[in-house]
Chains A and B, each alone.
Chain A
Amino acid sequence: KQEVTQIPAALSVPEGENLVLNCSFTDSAIYNLQWFRQDPGKGLTSLLLIQSSQREQTSGRLNASLDKSSGRSTLYIAASQPGDSATYLCAVRRGAGGTSYGKLTFGQGTILTVHP
């Protein structure tokens, strides 16, 4: 059974810092990995999606890397801003085979607070 763990559970940083959020998963047979952002009481916004054949994806100040063999992904946020404050969720999509092909398994998230 796939398990996804995110570290740290919470992070508080001053504005302007570069930071790294970590995600690890137990089953490397994944199709892709997705990072989401969730604001309090709201739905999820997709930030980056990395296919299993890719090593990283970038969007603006965000960079996500994937090391499938070691079961790890990191989300790097450059020059953090108060508006980045949210919960960041990592999810892996199961690869081919089995009845749950395509199923997303989520981590518990990292609660990020960026203070001015």
Chain B
Amino acid sequence: ETGVTQTPRHLVMGMTNKKSLKCEQHLGHNAMYWYKQSAKKPLELMFVYNFKEQTENNSVPSRFSPECPNSSHLFLHLHTLQPEDSALYLCASSQGIGTTQDNEQFFGPGTRLTVL
């Protein structure tokens, strides 16, 4: 595997379910990101992790719970979601943040989430 991978690619869940999205980067990067892309809206940053530590939470509801066990893996735990949470969830990674190498972010293919 190369680059940034995400699983599953598609997910359908009910409002009472609990599920998790997984992201893995094979680029040796230190920073990882979760973005949400809803129809008709710009990509929105949700969370940023740098060296496994969360550095940004963009006022995301607590029904979204991120986890970063190491610099290569990022999870997004989902519980009691609403239909308006249906969107494409994209993961990205970069070498670092806020440095002269702040760098291009490399994106995964995304998980298409549908909440019924």
Which 8 pairs show the lowest CB-CB distances between chains A and B? A44-B107, A106-B43, A43-B107, A43-B109, A102-B97, A101-B98, A106-B42, A102-B98
Indicate if A100 sits at the interface (CB-CB under 8 A). Answer: yes
**How many residues of chain B are within 8 Å of chain A by beta carbon?**
23
Q: How far is the CA of A19 from the CA of B56 in the complex (A)?
A: 37
Docked complex: A88-116 residues within 8 A CB-CB of B? 89, 91, 93, 96, 99-109
Check B43–A89 contact: CB distance below 8 A: yes
Indicate if A46 sits at the interface (CB-CB under 8 A). Answer: yes
Closest to A45 in B: B107
Indicate if A49 sits at the interface (CB-CB under 8 A). Answer: yes
Check B56–A103 contact: CB distance below 8 A: yes
Closest to A34 in B: B104
Chain A residues lying within 8 Å of B48, measured Cβ to Cβ, are 103
Question: Known: A43-B109, A93-B102. Contact between A101 and B97, CB under 8 A?
Answer: yes
Query: Chain A: interface secondary structure?
Result: strand
Indicate if A42 sits at the interface (CB-CB under 8 A). Answer: yes
Check A102–B45 contact: CB distance below 8 A: no
Q: Report A's interface with B, CB cutoff 8 A.
A: 4, 31-32, 34, 36, 41-46, 49, 89, 91, 93, 96, 99-109
Chain A residues lying within 8 Å of B41, measured Cβ to Cβ, are 108
Question: Known: A41-B112, A42-B110, A103-B56. Contact between A49 and B102, CB under 8 A?
Answer: no
Check A104–B42 contact: CB distance below 8 A: no
- Further contacts, 20 of them, CB under 8 A, given A96-B98, A104-B45: A4-B42, A32-B102, A34-B104, A36-B107, A41-B110, A41-B112, A42-B110, A43-B108, A44-B90, A46-B105, A46-B106, A89-B43, A91-B43, A101-B97, A101-B98, A103-B48, A103-B56, A106-B43, A107-B42, A108-B42
